[in-house]
Chain A
Amino acid sequence: MATQEKLKLALYWAASCGGCEIAMVELREKLLIVDQVAEILFWPVAVDVKYKDVEAMPEKHIDVCLFNGAIRTSENEHMAHLMRKKSKVLVAFGSCAHEGCIPGLANLYDRDSIFEYAYRESPSVDNPGNFVPQTAYSLPEGEVHIPKFYNTVKTLAQTVEVDYFLPGCPPQPHQIWAVIEAILAGNLPPKGSVVGANEKTVCEECKHTRQEKKIKKFYRIHEMIPDSTQCLFDQGIICAGPATRGGCGSLCTKVDMPCRGCYGPPPHVVDQGAALLSAVASVVDADTEEEAARIVGGIADPVGTFYRFGLPSSLLHRSQLGKK
């Protein structure tokens, strides 16, 4: 290993929360091995390399770029194009880059309505100038620029060509390590593949006992105390497990909380929300239209439940612009 050239690695975050960075730290001692085998050329959270240094790099200088975060602003978009240009392999790392994740829920609104609330309507706001942020503003000393905030959150693959997808919010450390090992060994699947995850759903990893499902009533998490050994979905708690790719170890159901779907759709499923909606409705225990409508009518906020992580990557991508 000492004679091999070090892997030139870059990590970047767009519209994200930093959880994917912490996931790298959760590699714990293994991160010191990464230090042995890789040279980190760009990682704003940890290294004092600046944007101008990346702009100055030759094309395809970086071997692998792990890009997390969704594309929310013009700066995120610019960086997606920049990292694509400078990297041989670009990985959509984590749910935000992969499918939009939680910031993607903003696709139920638009720039104007978000700005209106954040800067004018919110109860603690003080805004005598009635401002909203401007992409260019003249201060006494000079002009200050901020990126444009787009109406719609996009995934990395909706912006540039992506080589691999590593799902999860965030990806679990053991999965990240498996992918790093595959990269070092030159052992990656065909381009466009999902890596660091299983081929079946979360249910396969979950230890709760599953019976035939016949739901008479749906419960929200605070409305009942579930039996720890039985499938949560059987008990009427909507669990995204059946429509979510496995590989995380089913950590949430382990502590009796339902899966919310952060690993994205299982293989061959194009729209995770629609798949989950279909699964949930199909097992409703109703033999008349009225009864069925009544039971599924008890599901509050379908879009927020079924499309929690995958709204931007879904078939419709966002709610209709211009509609209230």
Chain B
Amino acid sequence: MQKISIDPVTRLEGHGRIDIFLNDAGEVVNAYMVIPELRGFEKFAQGRRVEELTDITPRICGVCPEAHHLASTKACDAVFHVDPPPTAKKLRELFYSAFYVADHTVHFYILGGPDFVMGPDAPVAERNILGVIHKAGVETGTRVIQARGKAMDIIGMLGGRKIHPTFGLPGGVGKALTEEERQQIEATAREEIEFALFTLQLFRDIVLKNPIYMDLILSEAFTLPTYYMGTVDAKNRVNFYDGQIRVVDPEGKEFIKYSPKDYLDVIAERVEPWTYLKFPYLKKVGWKGLVPGKDNGIYQATPLSRLNAADGMATPRAQEAYEEMYKTFGKKPIHNLLATHWARLVELLYAAERLLELATDPEITNPHVRNIPTEKPTEGVGTVEAPRGTLTHHYVTDEKGLVTKANLVVGTTNNYAPISLAIKKAAQAVIQKGQKIQEGMLNRVEMAFRLYDPCFGCATHSLPGRMPLEVRLFDPAGNLREVLKRNMD
């Protein structure tokens, strides 16, 4: 048997290799997504002060540190049996909403976008952010950088550092909001809503109105029915920060709705000896291996999953966008994997609207943002929706609050089995018997991975192209400092 390796997979976070096995006739017999990395956080968390995990676990991922930071903070609240003041919870959600705006923006425009917007067979030199800017315009490029930047500024305002911010701690958050800061956040939130609407329109214009892209989206090669998981509020609407975890079956019927602390009753992680990553699945359905089917407990936890698992969005314009998406596909749940990109933009709009809601909440500048724990620490679970899936932190400590056991089920990990199925399906669809294998084919196999936005929403551009570009740099006072041009007069 012949083996083709895509090594490493690119335009995602982390390390991966796809091994494709072909028989003598040149047909794909199987394809494996091999994860060659492990760092051991669950083990070296043992012996650490539990509250310090809020600063240690974000180093699992520098793209979504905010997700780990908040899941860890919530787990610590539970360990110490302390309930933070209402303003602290709102501030955490505000902080998290700003993060979602930044993160989803980056994934669409810079990482996943190029494949989707430029098309899967575009030359490597164009299949990147610059290609996207060329299609969408230079002004868009600047707008993207600024939209992301302003959202990140909110992170920095609250958490000091923009990457690996330190904001939450057991019982609350580290600082309260001043009125001046609140006004700044409110102004940014309004801009971000406009930006999200603009992005959705861009998606309609470039993708939805293009029949070739729509064929790709609707193609069988990129369709995968599974169970879907997401966090919902009391009204079964998508919530990133808190709520119950809901799973629907491939027909959309509610399979289970559970409290985060009961996660061990619901999911288990299968070990395979050929990869460092484990495969979560639904225990009550069971594990049948890396094969599709309703009797297999494989589930997805992605923006599309969250929308599939919920009954709607909690803010008005996001709800409109949600309805538009399901109307276009004519069914719910949507099993077309590439629709994940669209779902991500619906979430982008929700995050911006939620940011505004929280920024204008009458309690948001209340200075009472900390409750000091009084009880002995024992054990706790904290979950949030990471952009890439439901994130669970579970800690057990001794009476001094030193960790004796830690268990983490991380966003992208939820999706390891579906990713494996998706790349195999894509490989079998694009690599046909007798055909010479082209680079674009291998990229299509990678696309089946990239739509999941695996733990990394932020690539910046790739640079072999020579497209015309003008960059204007302004100083903080608004004076034009420099104009750089390439291939322009």
Residues in A lying within 8 Å of B, measured CB to CB = 13, 15-26, 28-29, 31-33, 35-36, 38-40, 43-52, 72-73, 75, 101-103, 105-106, 108-109, 113-114, 117-119, 122-127, 129, 131-134, 137, 139-142, 144, 146-147, 149, 169-170, 220-225, 248, 251-257, 260, 262, 300-301, 304-305, 308
Interface string of B124-145 (1 = CB under 8 A from A): 1001101000000000011001
A213 to B458, CA, bound (A): 43
Q: A19-B62, A101-B59, A222-B170 in contact; A50/B7 too (CB < 8 A)?
A: yes
The residue from B32, B276, B463, B484 contacting A39, defined by CB atoms under 8 A apart: B463
The reply to whether B42 and A118 contact each other, CB–CB distance below 8 Å, is yes
The residue from B3, B171, B459 contacting A142, defined by CB atoms under 8 A apart: B3
A268 to B156, CA, bound (A): 31
- Output the least CB separation between B58 and chain A (Å): 8
The residue in chain A whose Cβ has the minimal distance to the Cβ of B82 is A222
Q: A40-B463, A223-B372 in contact; A48/B124 too (CB < 8 A)?
A: yes
- Output the least CB separation between A182 and chain B (Å): 19
Interface string of B12-37 (1 = CB under 8 A from A): 11110001010000000110101111
The reply to whether B51 and A75 contact each other, CB–CB distance below 8 Å, is no
The reply to whether B273 and A129 contact each other, CB–CB distance below 8 Å, is yes
The residue from A47, A126, A149, A221 contacting B38, defined by CB atoms under 8 A apart: A149
The reply to whether B163 and A222 contact each other, CB–CB distance below 8 Å, is no
Chain A residues within an 8 Å CB radius of B55: 260, 308
In the complex, 25 of the A-B residue pairs with CB atoms within 8 angstroms, ordered by the A residue number, are: A17-B63, A22-B163, A24-B460, A28-B145, A35-B469, A36-B486, A45-B10, A47-B10, A48-B124, A103-B40, A109-B40, A118-B42, A122-B42, A126-B281, A131-B273, A133-B38, A141-B21, A144-B275, A149-B276, A252-B161, A252-B166, A255-B166, A262-B164, A300-B401, A304-B47
The residue from B62, B142, B160, B267 contacting A20, defined by CB atoms under 8 A apart: B62
The residue from A48, A105, A109, A137 contacting B10, defined by CB atoms under 8 A apart: A48
- Output the least CB separation between B49 and chain A (Å): 5
Give the residue among B34, B167, B462 with the most A Cβ atoms within 10 A: B462
Chain B residues within an 8 Å CB radius of A51: 7-8
The reply to whether B76 and A255 contact each other, CB–CB distance below 8 Å, is no
The reply to whether A125 and B62 contact each other, CB–CB distance below 8 Å, is no
A300 to B48, CA, bound (A): 8
Confirm or deny: B106 has a beta carbon within 8 angstroms of a beta carbon on chain A.
yes
The residue in chain A whose Cβ has the minimal distance to the Cβ of B3 is A142
Give the residue among B37, B106, B163 with the most A Cβ atoms within 10 A: B163
- Output the least CB separation between A288 and chain B (Å): 24
The reply to whether B401 and A125 contact each other, CB–CB distance below 8 Å, is no
Chain B residues within an 8 Å CB radius of A19: 59, 61-63, 65, 163-164
A305 to B52, CA, bound (A): 9
- Output the least CB separation between B73 and chain A (Å): 10
A31 to B372, CA, bound (A): 43
The reply to whether B401 and A133 contact each other, CB–CB distance below 8 Å, is no
- Output the least CB separation between A250 and chain B (Å): 9
- Output the least CB separation between B279 and chain A (Å): 9
The residue from A45, A52, A134, A169 contacting B59, defined by CB atoms under 8 A apart: A169
- Output the least CB separation between A154 and chain B (Å): 13
The residue from B19, B164, B469 contacting A169, defined by CB atoms under 8 A apart: B164
The reply to whether A45 and B11 contact each other, CB–CB distance below 8 Å, is yes
Chain A residues within an 8 Å CB radius of B61: 17-19
A160 to B141, CA, bound (A): 39
Chain A residues within an 8 Å CB radius of B3: 141-142
- Output the least CB separation between B451 and chain A (Å): 16
A109 to B44, CA, bound (A): 7
How extensive is the interface on chain B, given as a class?
35 or more
Q: A45-B10, A125-B278 in contact; A137/B59 too (CB < 8 A)?
A: no
Q: A108-B47, A133-B276, A255-B159 in contact; A222/B372 too (CB < 8 A)?
A: yes
The reply to whether A252 and B160 contact each other, CB–CB distance below 8 Å, is yes
Chain B residues within an 8 Å CB radius of A220: 49, 51, 401
The reply to whether A44 and B8 contact each other, CB–CB distance below 8 Å, is yes
A221 to B128, CA, bound (A): 43
Within 8 A of A (CB), among B434-464: 443, 455-456, 458-464
Interface string of B353-381 (1 = CB under 8 A from A): 00000000000000000101100000000
Chain A residues within an 8 Å CB radius of B145: 28-29
The residue from A113, A141, A251 contacting B1, defined by CB atoms under 8 A apart: A141
The reply to whether A46 and B268 contact each other, CB–CB distance below 8 Å, is no
The reply to whether B29 and A141 contact each other, CB–CB distance below 8 Å, is yes
The reply to whether B49 and A305 contact each other, CB–CB distance below 8 Å, is yes
Give the residue among B161, B169, B281 with the most A Cβ atoms within 10 A: B161
Interface string of B372-406 (1 = CB under 8 A from A): 11000000000000000000001000001110010
Give the residue among B10, B162, B281, B463 with the most A Cβ atoms within 10 A: B463
The reply to whether B44 and A127 contact each other, CB–CB distance below 8 Å, is no
Chain A residues within an 8 Å CB radius of B65: 17, 19
Chain B residues within an 8 Å CB radius of A255: 158-160, 166-167, 174-175
Give the residue among A19, A33, A45, A129 with the most B Cβ atoms within 10 A: A45
The reply to whether A22 and B63 contact each other, CB–CB distance below 8 Å, is yes
The residue from A17, A40, A133 contacting B62, defined by CB atoms under 8 A apart: A17
The residue in chain B whose Cβ has the minimal distance to the Cβ of A23 is B163
Chain A residues within an 8 Å CB radius of B283: 126
A190 to B32, CA, bound (A): 46
A20 to B163, CA, bound (A): 9
Q: A124-B409, A257-B160 in contact; A146/B275 too (CB < 8 A)?
A: yes
Chain A residues within an 8 Å CB radius of B30: 139-141
Chain B residues within an 8 Å CB radius of A31: 460-461
The residue in chain B whose Cβ has the minimal distance to the Cβ of A1 is B484
The reply to whether A35 and B461 contact each other, CB–CB distance below 8 Å, is yes
The reply to whether A137 and B273 contact each other, CB–CB distance below 8 Å, is yes
The residue from A16, A22, A126, A257 contacting B287, defined by CB atoms under 8 A apart: A126
- Output the least CB separation between B94 and chain A (Å): 15
The residue from A46, A144, A251 contacting B160, defined by CB atoms under 8 A apart: A251
The reply to whether A222 and B51 contact each other, CB–CB distance below 8 Å, is yes
The reply to whether B19 and A46 contact each other, CB–CB distance below 8 Å, is no
A295 to B55, CA, bound (A): 25
Give the residue among B8, B62, B76, B268 with the most A Cβ atoms within 10 A: B62
10 nearest A-B pairs in the assembled complex, by CB-CB distance:
A19-B62, A46-B459, A141-B21, A102-B59, A251-B160, A47-B462, A126-B268, A131-B273, A255-B160, A257-B166
Confirm or deny: B80 has a beta carbon within 8 angstroms of a beta carbon on chain A.
yes
The reply to whether B174 and A133 contact each other, CB–CB distance below 8 Å, is no
Chain A residues within an 8 Å CB radius of B14: 18
